[in-house]
Amino acid sequence: MPGLFDIHIDEIPQAGLELDCDLPEGWLAKHLGLAYRPSGKPESLVARIRREGDNVLVTATVLAEVECDCSRCAEGLSRPLDLSLKALFVPEDAAHIHLEDMDLSSDGLEGMFEYAGRTFSIEPLLAEAVVFALEDYPLCTEDCAGLCPTCGGNLNVEKCECGAPGKDSPFAALEKLKNRLARK
């Protein structure tokens, strides 16, 4: 059964094809990884597909909002996901690729991809774009102070009075050794 992301070459009209729809439920969550989760707000795909011979130019935008926790202080936050991409699909058996009539002048061409047959999917391209658009270690702010290593308090909210590691610290024995050597 053909899916939302499947492009059928012979069904692309001369004027091109416009897609403006919601992403399937659960699609974004499947590609977010461990640090992010969907916000529950609408997730949409806007795409323009244009064909010139057997070459197909796909311009797509994914709009959504994702939630995550700051990697330093663990506070919850949300991030807009607004990614745009442009990719050219060419037949794998093409001896020559004629690009004269394709609008490749704009920024953002992700690359050229080969396809076999008369149908291909843009889902892998969109999924990869989502993965690369998200930070590995999201922060609430660039200067986030994080959590106190002793008491776990959020240092962005209140100044911690824990100070230096206490006697239960694994470094307490080294501190004693340092003091003893300093007296000699």
Question: d(Cα 8, Cα 85) in Å, to the nearest integer?
Answer: 19
* pLDDT tens-digit map of 34-57: 889 999 999 999 999 999 888 899
Kindly state the tokens that stand for 15.
């004027």
* Long-range contacts of the stretch 76-82 (C-beta < 8 A, 24+): 77/138, 77/140, 78/39, 79/36, 79/134, 79/138, 81/28, 81/130, 81/133, 81/134
Nearest to 56 by CA among 21, 95, 85, 16: 16
Report, as an integer, the average pLDDT of 166-179: 75
The pairing of strands 17-22 and 44-52 is antiparallel
Residue 104, pLDDT above cutoff 70? no
Kindly state the helix (H) or strand (E) to which residue 178 belongs, with its residue range: helix 172-183
User: What per-residue confidence (pLDDT) applies to 1?
Assistant: 36
- Percentage of the residues of the chain whose pLDDT score is greater than 70: 88
Pick the range with the lowest mean pLDDT from 15-24, 62-71, 90-99: 90-99
User: What per-residue confidence (pLDDT) applies to 100?
Assistant: 60
Greater confidence, 175 or 110? 175
Residue 165, pLDDT above cutoff 60? no
Residue 183, pLDDT above cutoff 60? yes
Report, as an integer, the average pLDDT of 88-101: 74
Residue 18, pLDDT above cutoff 60? yes
Question: d(Cα 150, Cα 169) in Å, to the nearest integer?
Answer: 9
Kindly state the tokens that stand for 24.
């399937």
* pLDDT tens-digit map of 110-161: 788 889 999 999 999 999 999 999 999 999 999 999 998 888 889 999 888 7
Map tokens 């997730």 to a residue: 43
Report, as an integer, the average pLDDT of 49-66: 92
Question: d(Cα 113, Cα 91) in Å, to the nearest integer?
Answer: 8
Using a 10 angstrom Cβ sphere, with 0-12 exposed, 13-18 middle and 19 or more buried, the burial of residue 80 is: exposed
User: What per-residue confidence (pLDDT) applies to 95?
Assistant: 66
Kindly state the helix (H) or strand (E) to which residue 129 belongs, with its residue range: helix 123-133
